[in-house]
Amino acid sequence: MTTGTIRQERRADGVVTLWLDNPAMRNALNDAMIDALIASLRDLGRDPSCRAIVLRGVGGIFCAGRELNNLLQLQGADAETIAATYQVLRELNEAVYYCGKPTISVLERYALGAGAALATWSDLAIAAEDTLLGYPEVKVGLPPSQTTVSLIRGVPRKIAMDLLLTARNIRAEEALRIGLVSRVAPKGGIDALLEEMLGELLRASPEALARTKQVVWKVEDADYHSAVATAVDCICTAITTREAREGISAFVEKRQPDWAQARKA
């Protein structure tokens, strides 16, 4: 019987938390949860009332990977079924990475396999100091496929190979040092750190945040000359927007910008 679900919690300020809710499996992802995450991320990415998306696990555990029962079911499957299953995982990768809203993964206790991948695909990742991160796939006879793509672009090759080939777990402080997470919270401080980061995001222009993400996506896939051209095109368009006008005026007038009013103007 399939267990586990994705619960959505929306705040008045536009922050939406997607809770990974599969405590019997330490919030490991199953096929149904992956489908639900994809749908939620796509919908929220288009939702103008959503300002930021938080990925978090219930019970103080982020995500211990994939449910291996789902993978065992593929052992006797045909090639088409196997390809379709991993295509869905690719869709999750892209739904997180190319989401139009800032995404934050909140890592507690375990971020292993697919859990570590979610953190890597997210824009930002914060971790409690006792969190364990790792890529255990080779220990069960599998290569960490899509995980490798993001990891090798985020950390030096020797570090990536160490993590992927040895499958060792690392603590949050080491993850911070090598660039796998954005910030680390002391014991009991993860909620305060999350609110600090959300406060910083909510003070920014929603349109500017979206355009910044677009520039990053394009720059990562471009050569240097194309990347610079992309950046120039972006700022030339952005400088004429209502939110840019409001942000610059607010700075000159020494007041907080009113992004909601700017969008209505």
Cβ(195)–Cβ(219) under 8 Å? no
Buried b (16+ CB within 10 A) or exposed e, 17-53: bbbbbbeebbbbbbbbbbebbbebbbebbeeeebbbb
**CA neighbor of 176 nearest in space, from 136, 129, 215:** 129
In whole angstroms, give the CA distance from residue 245 to residue 196: 26
Give me the catalytic one of 137, 173, 220, 246.
137
In whole angstroms, give the CA distance from residue 231 to residue 212: 9
CA distances (Å), origin 162, targets 10, 127, 148: 39, 21, 12
SS3 11: coil
Q: Is 243 a catalytic residue?
A: no
Q: What are the residue numbers of the active site? A: 137
